[in-house]
Amino acid sequence: MSKFSSVNKELIEILNNEYISALNDFNMDNWLACFSQQGQYILTAEENIRRNLPVAFMLDDCYARLKDRVKQVMEIQYDSSEHYQMRHFTQLISATESENGVIETKFNFSVYYTPRDTHQTETLCVGKYEDSIVIEKGEALFQKRVAIVDTNVLPRYVVYPV
């Protein structure tokens, strides 16, 4: 079976591009806008997934949590964080539609970061996204985006979602 069975790849790519642009442009409202009202976001380590351990780095398991994530980044911790520029590179690996119309996608990602003091670019993490995407009013939205990092030991504290 094709890894891209009859799904609208273009809508998926547009959503993913909006997602990474939101993060790379520090626009947390646009990040939130990538999720449906049932949206969830999880950032976790490959080790936790492999060992069936449910704790994550970030676990926003409902839309209210996603909104609180925006508040955490933009208000609560804004002035104590050392901010950095992120740059995402992603690659669509598969997209398949399940019976209930939800599209399951996988992307590889690598994310670089450039701190605003040293201006030296380093790798923040490498991993994969496992997504559930719904099409609402002709627009693709994440019902769930799970970022699983191979980088089980992150090189710094992490201010923003990946």
Partner 1 sequence: MSTKNNSTPSLDWPAKTNHVPKEVFEMEGLWEEELKNIFYGEEWHPIVHRAEIPNPGDYKAAQLGEINVFAVHGDDGEIRVFQNTCTHRGTSLVTESSGNKKELECPYHRWLFNLEGDLVGCPGDREFSPDFDKKDYGLLKLRVEAFYGLYFATMSDKTPPLKEYFGESFYEPLQRLLGGDGRLNLIGYQKVIYDCNWKAYCDNDGYHGALLHKAFAMLNWQGGQGTQIVTKNGHLCFDSELTMPDHVDALEDGSILDFKGTETSNGSIVLMSFPITVYTKHMDMLNIRYSFPKGPKGVEVHYAYFSHQDDDDEMVRHRIRQSSNLLGPCGLISMEDASVFSRIDKGNRTQGDAIFQKGVKDEYAIPLEVGQTDETGNLARWERYRELMGFERRAK
CA dihedral 58, 61, 65, 70 (to 10 degrees): 50
**106 in contact with partner 1 (CB under 8 A):** no
Alpha-carbon distance 140 to 143, whole Å?
9
Q: Quick one: DSSP state of residue 6? A: T
The pair of structure tokens assigned to 148 is: 């699983």
Q: How far is CA 29 from the centre of its chain?
A: 14
Element (H, E) at 65: helix 63-71
Residue nearer to partner 1 on the CB measure, 84 or 109: 84
Nearer to partner 1 by Cβ, of 81 and 108: the residue is 81
Residues 33-72 within binding reach of partner 1 (CB under 8 A) = 43-45, 47-48, 51, 53-62, 64-65, 67-68, 71-72
Q: Which of 80, 98, 100, 120 binds partner 1 (CB under 8 A)?
A: 80
Which residues in this chain contact partner 1 in the complex, by CB under 8 A? 43-45, 47-48, 51, 53-62, 64-65, 67-68, 71-72, 75-77, 79-82, 117, 152-159
